[in-house]
Amino acid sequence: MTFVEKQVLALRVVFMNILYIFLAIVIFLSLYLPLIIVTEFLFFEPYVFFYVPIYQLPNFLSIVIISALTGLVLSMSVYRIRFLQASTKKLRSGLLGSFLGAGAGACCGGIGIALISIFGAVGSTAATFLTNFEIPLRLLSIGILVFTYLMIVKDLNRECSLNFDVKEK
């Protein structure tokens, strides 16, 4: 079985159930909407207005990718928990990676800067660091989420290999 076939098979198994599609969409929106509001891509006053300046396109795309990967990884993790009865040791890496990746993507945006700024001079230094390294930190979080996704797919293919072999015959 090729690399792409394994990816498609794992996605098909998880997202055959509409509940996991809905869960992925809810997770995506619950991370995406606050981030685009805080980073000022979506305005509500004087009327609802969505605007992405061309120089902010990398920031916007990184928010979309992080939100989508977080929805994908967390819904696949929930699938593993519910149906495969995976051990807690195996699940820690998937959940930790998804929270770490999503947290790294969220903290270097407006949410992290707003929270850190209440700490005075130390917060100001941290906010400057987060502002200067926003894109590299988001790329790191995308890397963490992709790695977590690949590990979940590998575990799903290994744990479900008997079921897949039966279906192929």
Beta bridge partners of 49: 43
Entry field: residues in the chain? 169
Residue 68 reports pLDDT greater than 70: yes
Return the higher-pLDDT residue of 107 and 133: 133
Better-predicted residue by pLDDT, 21 or 105: 21
Select the more confidently predicted residue: 159 or 92: 159
**Predicted pLDDT at 15:** 93
Structure-block tokens of residue 59: 């920031």
Segments in 16-119 forming alpha helices (H): 18-38, 57-83, 88-107, 110-116
Placement of tokens 């293919």 in the chain: 157
81 pLDDT band (50/70/90 cuts)? confident
Is the predicted pLDDT of residue 111 greater than 60, yes or no?
no
Q: Hey, what amino acid is at 70?
A: T
Given a cut of 80, whether residue 121 has pLDDT beyond it is no
* 136 pLDDT higher than 90: no
The overall average pLDDT reported for the chain is 77
If pLDDT is split at 50, 70 and 90, which confidence band does 126 have? low
Q: What is the pLDDT at residue 52?
A: 92
Is residue 80 a contact partner of residue 152, using CB atoms and an 8 Å limit?
Answer: yes
The total of other beta-carbon atoms located within 10 Å of residue 128's CB is 12
Tens digits of per-residue pLDDT, 25-64? 999 999 899 888 888 888 888 888 999 999 989 989 998 9
Burial level of 89, CB count in 10 A (0-12/13-18/19+)?
Answer: exposed
pLDDT at 164: 47
Phi, psi of 96 (to 5 degrees): -65, -45
The first and second tokens of residue 122, run together, are 């130390």
Token pair in block for residue 52: 């992405």
Q: How many CB atoms lie within 10 A of CB 121?
A: 7
Q: Please calculate the CA angle 87-90-94 and round it to the nearest 5 degrees.
A: 130
Cα–Cα distance for residue pair 23/62, rounded to 1 Å: 21
